[in-house]
Structure 1
Amino acid sequence: YLHMLTTTRFVEDVQGLETPFLIIVGSNDPGLDETAMKQTFLAWHPNAELVTLSQCGHYPMQECPPHFVQVVERFLLR
């Protein structure tokens, strides 16, 4: 998986898709933070939405599950 993650180029294939995307990051995640997402997913997808969960790290689904579920449900209901 590491080889695939570091060598596969797919940006050109997905850039500009109108599919709605929900991007969730934890405020305590030092690597995949708001800045990284703005430079990648938000730049590639015009209908992407970014939500930052406070007091969560890289695994918000485990660190703050009720808040994580609320955010995902709100997105899916739209």
Structure 2
Amino acid sequence: MGFGAILDININHISTRLAYWLARNFDEKFDKLNVGKHQIKITSDTVYEVFGIPKGPKKVEIIADKRKVKKQEKI
């Protein structure tokens, strides 16, 4: 069971607190998210199963122009 329906939610930004928490708790060396005493292994299969985002060879475009990136200031 995944969360494919989450793709229908109109989200234009991510909470600064959530982004900060994810960045602090993700171990990029082992591709694991530390959640308390537990760890969740994050793979392309995990992302596909949870979010329904296709996995494949297509690269994610990096936005170099900061004016195109929206930032939520309030926490």
Q: Per the shorter chain, which TM-score range?
A: under 0.3
Specify the structure having the higher radius of gyration (Cα): 2
Higher relative contact order (CA 8 A, sep 6+): 2
TM-score of the superposed pair, with normalisation by structure 2: 0.23
Higher relative helix content: 1
